[in-house]
Every structure is written in structure tokens, then in C-alpha cells.
């Protein structure tokens, strides 16, 4: 769009994205949903759109981009692309500048008044990225700050000042992973009007085809064995990590939500602001559409943070923690004396496929130095390809994801071009690599009760115990051998402690600071150590189911989440005894023993 003799084109609004992929996962950090040329070393098809120039003139060209390998290599970056206007290349190669997001200058071009064709042309397939293109008749360089970006984008795209009102709901669920889906469906089946907001275009979170993590843990166990039938309705029938897209059954998940007449689904919207009716009560949220940055307003009586990152709770002012807790906080025997930022890491999974002829792969010079001693002879990057344990999982989220891709490309390039066993891989090629990081841990919201290590190991059962864990206490650490060779290790190992099925207290599922905020997923109220057993998806799905059932009780009885524990737990107990799922459909869940072995197998 244009105004003031300037034209601003958000890459996420391109009419034809070609082989480029829209990536909104770092909007909290860098402000945008950008296009990434995730071609696994093969240039992707051009992205194209049209724009209108207000008058004849010479325009200065800028593209908001970054050099994604600058953190680790001083070699020329592979993440580069060209911009074409009316099929003419501009003079600059973009993406080879600074390592931070910035407006890279692209020279000037004379344009006539009217409509023109704009093309992003990838040159390598190695994850070049573009947030926006600016053409301006002024000599002023755009501001690189987020505040400057928001002001420029809002003015030139003529974004409305006020969000579009989408009405009021009994329950507003932020986050469309399995926890959020279960919360929404369980509430909706009790007559609650639900808004489900998901910041991506697919549902399922880590179990979607974007991330491809198999469902871990067990359903239908413990004191309330009916919990879990709900996930069985839409959970994939096959198990495994890093498998073909169809294994994760995205359409099955989407159809499960669309079948519920009481759910209004907002796909591709990220919660960015919160309205409050007092210091302890959320009244509304504003969600930004990740394609065009328009906003919607959604009012609610109850809210559920199922984002994994605690995004809604943090915006609303809830207390949260991230990293290892100090011993003084919860008196946990295994906790360090002082707090630190160590977390469970994120996985960028991948796999190779076989062709009927030799398949080359670029012999990259910008990658991590790999040798015959350090190369990983595998055909699948599994859960133990884990990065970012010592990084800030929120502030450094893009860097963590990029390092996961960086090490995978580096290892694969060595296998294909230098390894003594490269002939075994002659016909192999990269079939898939995630561009969405599979997070295990980030911010944890503090609830009425915080589940601790000693609760688990001493098997202290509380009267409001509900969802049962089935995973051992599983807190990963960097692989010692990998750590000997790399300053930033990229392999991990599971450190398991046996644990019987443990009932998580209901009080872990609502905020101590906000009267009408539930939470379900990895961001519930647990310590870092306790997260090791609560974080897997079949367990988090049952959390969501309980939250949806609790929302029914709250709205029917005029109660808040805290009141249920104090006054009406018998009503929630009755609903948990029945569960929200159907039992007249095939039971398709396949379990794995990885939670009791920590096996580092490609077949997990």
C-alpha cells in the first residue's frame, strides 16, 4: 500500500507466495510474519505480488531482512535473494548484511505511476528471509527499531486504529495445540460459546505437520480414566517423530474443531494485547492477523492460556518463571543454589528420502565444522537433536531455531560430500526439515499451587489431583561427547527418574494473579524439574480437557476458577468422571516406551 509517495509491501501479503513460506513464530521478538525460502538447499519458486506507485519518480528501495548465519560464520551468507520489479533485477543481493533484522538498502529505481510487479527471487534455498519491502521517494532511511517498524507499517498500510469487534464468548482460548483444542472442545460440548485463537494456519502445535512431534504419554489412566477419550477423537493413529506430513493428520484436527457449533475458530491470529476490567480480571484480548496485521477484539468471561509460552498470561501481568528454579524457591533437593536460564531445549527435526539416482547437496563453506569424528551417521534428526538449552527460549527464539537448521545442514553437507561412508548416501536427499522449532520449555505461569520435585518423588497426592502424568521425570542435558567438540552442542540425552502415574493438582491450572485465567499445556504452574513429567502432549491434552470442563462449571454456577477448588470441586469431579470425549469411536492411540528408556533411536 502507498501514501506520502512511499510504498510499503508486507511480504506476508504477497498474492502468490510461490515456494516461500510465511513464518509468524517470531512476531513477539521481531515484530512480523516474514517469508522464508526454506528450500533445503534448492532455490524455491518466486513469490510475486503487485503494488501501485502514486506518481512518476525515483524511489529508494529497502528490504527488511537479516543475515541468519552471521552468529556462527564470517563466510558469505547462504540466505540471500534478489528483488525484481517488472522482471528487472534490482542491483542489490539481499540478506547478506547485518545479523539483526534491519532495513537493507537496495539502491534507487525510476518507476512510473501505476501498477507494477514485485518478485522475490531466491538464489540458494537456504532460508533467506524477507519481512517487507519499502519504496520511498524520500531520502530518509527507515528506523530499524520495532517502534519504528510498527509506526511505519501502520501508516503506510493504513491499518485501522481500532480492532474489529468479534463479540463476547464464555471462554476465550489462546493457543491451538492439543491442550487448547481439548479445552475448547470440552467447554463447547457443555454449551459454552468458545473463541479458539491460533497464531498459525494449522492446529496441533508440536503434533502438527509443521513440527512433527509424536504424542507422548498415556491417556485414560489414574483416578479419572475417562479423561483422554477426547484426544483420541482427533489424535493421529500412527506414532513417531519426524515422519511424513500425513502421519500428523492436520485435517482431522481441523475438522474436529469445525464440527463443534459452539466454537468460533480464529486461525492465523496472534494475541498481542489484553484488556482488563481491574487488576485481577481480563476482559478482552486483541489479536493481530499474521497475514496483513489487521486486528480483532474478542471479549470473554473466562480465558485459557494454552500458548505454551504463557503469552496471554504475561501480557495480562501474571507472574511467571523460566529456567531452573533456585533451591530457595521451592526447596527442591535437585535444584541449583541459584536460578539460571537453563531450560529444556528445542528440536528442529529432519529426515532424508531415497531417489533412484545420485542426489547432490551443496558443499557448504558457511556451516559448522564437521569431521569424521563428529559427524552423525543418521537418516533422521530425532528428538535428541536439541538446541538452545543455555539460551533465552523467548528472546533468542529465532536464533535457537536457526542453529537447529544450521547444524542439520552442516552435518548433511559433510555426509554427502566428505564422509568416508558417503557412497551409502549417494541417492539420499533431504526430504523434510522443520522450520518451526519444537519447544519443550519456556515461560511457566504461577498458579495457586506449584507442583514440585518432592511432590512427585514422595508421591504426595493432593485432594484436587486430577490429570495423571505417565512420563518419567525427564529433564534433558547436553550430550557429553557432543559438548566436547562444540561450543554450542546440538545433541542431548534424557536424564530419567522413574515415577508412577501422578495426579496433577487442579490448582496448577489457573493463575494466582488473575481471577479468570486458566492455563493448560507446558506453561502450567510447575517447577522446572516437575515440568519434566507434565510437558508431554497426551498429558497436556487432558489438562485442556479438565480446563474446558472447569469452564463449564464456572459459567453454570457463576464461579471463578479458584472457587471450584474451594466450593465446587465435587461438580468438576463428576464431569471428569465422565470426560468430554466419545467412547463410540475406534481407539487409535499407539504408545511408545521412550518415556521409560530415553532411547536415542531414529525409529522413535
CATH topology of domain 2-156: Jelly Rolls (2.60.120)
Q: Global pTM?
A: 0.97
Per-chain mean pLDDT for the chain: 96
Q: What is the pLDDT of residues 556-584, one digit of tens each?
A: 999 999 999 999 999 999 999 999 999 99
pLDDT for 344: 97
2-156 and 164-328+445-462+501-592 agree in CATH topology:
no
CB 228 within 8 A of CB 186: no
Distance CA(339)–CA(547), nearest Å, equals: 30
Contacts of 566 (CB under 8 A, 6+ apart): none
In 221-253, which positions are buried (b, 16+ CB within 10 angstroms) versus exposed (e)?
bbebebbbbbbbbbbbeebbbbbeeebbbbeeb
Q: What Cα–Cα distance (Å) separates residue 116 from each residue in 53, 54, 113, 328?
A: 8, 11, 9, 63
Write the CA distances from 286 to 263, 296, 300, 370, 575, integer angstroms. Answer: 18, 6, 11, 46, 32
The highest-level CATH class for domain 164-328+445-462+501-592 is alpha beta
pLDDT tens figures, 184-238: 999 999 999 999 999 999 999 999 999 999 999 999 999 999 999 999 999 999 9
488 φ, ψ (degrees, to nearest 5) = -115, 95
Q: Give the separation between CA 484 and CA 502, rounded to whole angstroms.
A: 37
Phi, psi of 37 (to 5 degrees): -90, 75
How far is C-alpha 95 from the chain's CA centre? 24
Q: C-alpha cell of 452?
A: 514440585
What is the model's pLDDT at position 595? 64
pLDDT for 1: 46
Domain range list for the chain = 2-156, 164-328+445-462+501-592, 346-433
Compute CA 158 distance to the chain's CA centroid, rounded to the nearest angstrom.
Answer: 29
353: Cβ–Cβ under 8 A, 6 or more apart, which residues?
428, 429, 430, 431
Identify the bridge partners of residue 174 per DSSP, sorted by sequence position: 197, 305
Residues lower than pLDDT 50 in the chain: 1-2
pLDDT score for 3:
53
Amino acid at each position: 500500500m502507498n501514501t506520502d509517495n512511499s510504498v510499503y509491501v508486507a511480504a506476508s501479503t504477497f498474492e502468490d507466495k510461490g515456494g516461500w513460506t510465511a513464518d509468524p513464530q517470531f512476531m513477539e521478538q521481531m515484530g512480523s510474519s516474514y517469508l522464508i525460502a526454506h528450500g533445503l538447499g534448492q532455490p524455491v519458486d518466486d513469490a510475486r505480488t503487485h503494488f501501485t506507485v502514486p506518481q512518476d519518480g525515483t524511489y529508494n528501495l529497502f528490504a527488511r531482512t537479516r543475515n541468519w548465519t552471521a552468529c556462527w560464520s564470517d563466510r558469505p551468507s547462504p540466505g540471500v535473494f534478489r528483488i525484481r520489479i517488472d522482471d528487472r533485477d534490482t542491483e542489490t543481493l539481499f540478506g547478506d548484511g547485518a545479523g539483526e533484522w534491519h532495513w537493507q538498502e537496495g539502491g534507487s529505481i525510476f518507476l512510473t505511476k501505476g501498477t507494477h510487479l514485485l518478485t522475490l527471487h531466491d538464489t540458494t534455498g537456504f532460508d533467506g528471509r524477507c519481512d517487507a519491502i519499502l519504496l520511498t521517494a524520500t531520502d530518509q532511511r527507515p528506523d530499524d527499531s520495532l517502534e519504528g517498524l510498527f509506526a511505519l507499517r501502520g501508516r503506510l498500510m493504513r491499518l485501522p486504529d481500532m480492532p474489529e469487534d468479534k463479540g463476547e464468548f464464555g471462554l476465550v482460548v489462546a493457543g491451538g495445540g492439543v491442550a487448547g483444542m481439548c479445552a475448547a472442545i470440552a467447554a463447547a460440548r457443555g454449551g459454552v460459546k468458545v473463541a479458539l485463537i491460533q497464531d498459525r494456519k494449522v492446529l496441533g502445535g508440536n503434533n502438527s505437520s509443521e513440527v512433527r512431534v509424536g504424542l507422548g504419554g498415556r491417556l485414560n489412566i489414574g483416578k479419572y480414566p475417562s479423561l483422554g477419550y477426547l484426544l483420541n477423537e482427533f489424535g493421529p493413529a500412527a506414532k513417531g517423530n519426524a515422519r511424513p506430513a500425513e502421519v500428523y493428520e492436520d485435517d482431522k484436527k481441523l475438522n474436529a474443531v469445525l464440527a463443534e457449533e459452539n466454537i468460533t475458530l480464529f486461525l492465523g491470529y496472534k494475541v498481542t494485547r489484553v484488556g482488563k476490567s481491574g487488576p485481577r480480571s481480563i476482559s478482552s484480548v486483541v489479536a493481530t492477523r499474521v497475514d496483513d496485521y489487521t486486528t480483532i477484539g474478542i471479549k470473554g468471561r473466562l480465558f485459557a492460556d494454552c500458548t505454551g509460552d504463557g503469552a496471554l498470561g504475561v501480557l495480562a501481568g501474571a507472574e511467571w518463571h523460566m529456567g531452573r528454579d533456585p533451591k530457595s524457591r521451592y526447596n527442591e533437593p535437585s535444584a541449583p543454589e541459584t536460578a539460571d536460564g537453563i531450560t529444556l531445549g528445542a528440536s528442529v527435526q529432519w529426515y532424508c528420502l531415497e531417489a533412484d539416482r545420485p542426489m547432490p547437496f551443496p558443499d557448504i563453506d558457511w556451516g559448522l565444522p564437521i569431521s569424521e569424528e563428529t559427524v552423525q551417521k543418521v537418516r533422521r534428526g530425532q528428538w535428541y537433536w536439541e538446541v538452545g538449552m543455555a539460551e533465552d527460549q523467548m528472546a533468542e527464539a529465532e536464533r535457537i531455531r536457526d542453529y537447529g537448521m544450521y547444524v542439520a545442514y552442516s552435518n548433511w553437507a559433510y555426509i554427502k560430500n566428505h564422509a568416508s561412508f558417503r557412497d551409502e548416501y549417494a541417492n539420499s536427499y533431504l526430504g523434510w526439515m522443520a522450520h518451526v522449532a519444537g519447544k519443550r520449555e519456556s515461560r511457566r505461569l504461577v498458579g495457586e499451587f506449584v507442583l514440585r520435585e518432592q511432590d512427585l518423588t514422595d508421591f504426595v497426592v493432593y485432594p484436587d489431583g486430577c490429570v495423571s502424568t505417565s512420563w518419567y521425570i525427564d529433564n534433558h542435558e547436553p550430550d557429553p561427547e557432543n559438548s566436547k567438540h562444540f561450543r554450542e552442542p546440538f545433541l542431548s540425552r534424557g536424564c530419567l527418574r522413574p515415577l508412577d502415574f501422578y495426579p496433577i493438582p487442579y490448582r496448577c491450572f489457573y493463575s494466582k494473579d488473575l481471577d479468570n485465567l486458566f492455563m493448560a499445556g507446558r506453561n502450567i504452574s510447575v517447577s522446572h524439574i516437575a515440568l519434566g513429567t507434565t510437558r508431554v502432549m497426551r498429558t497436556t491434552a487432558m489438562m485442556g480437557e479438565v480446563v474446558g470442563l472447569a469452564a463449564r462449571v464456572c459459567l453454570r454456577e457463576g464461579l471463578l476458577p479458584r472457587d471450584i477448588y474451594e466450593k465446587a470441586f465435587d461438580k468438576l469431579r463428576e464431569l471428569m468422571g465422565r470426560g468430554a470425549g466419545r467412547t463410540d469411536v475406534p481407539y487409535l492411540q499407539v504408545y511408545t516406551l521412550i518415556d521409560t528408556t530415553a532411547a536415542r533411536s531414529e525409529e522413535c
